Amino acid sequence: MDPVSIIVATIGGVAGLGSAVYTARAASRATQKKTEADERAAIRQIEANAYERARESYEGILAQLRTELDRQALQINGLTRQVSRLTRQVRDAGLVPVTSSEEEA
């Protein structure tokens, strides 16, 4: 082999080796970026699941509060009717009912 062929072969080998190193680095970067993207997607999924659980909990609490408010409204209406009946009974008995404001109670 003549020296020119050796030099050309060496240059070709170095170029091939350089290309292989570049390809390996590019593949490594691509893998790293994909891993980072997968991690971000996993975090987004975890956050979405946490948000969904929080929303369901919030809606459950709101439903409980609505139920409690409805129950108390029924109780207040019943008590108001009872006070009206008792007031009517006191008047019918010839007595004058004493009324007071809520501030005095």
pLDDT in tens, 40-98: 999 999 999 999 999 999 999 999 999 999 999 999 999 999 999 998 999 888 887 67
pLDDT in tens, 4-35: 787 878 888 888 888 888 888 988 899 999 99
Query: 1, 7 in Cβ contact below 8 A?
Result: no
Distances (CA, A) of 61 to 47, 54, 66: 21, 10, 9
* CA proximity to 99, closest of 75, 79, 83, 76: 83
pTM of the complete model: 0.53
Q: For position 96, what pLDDT does the model report?
A: 78
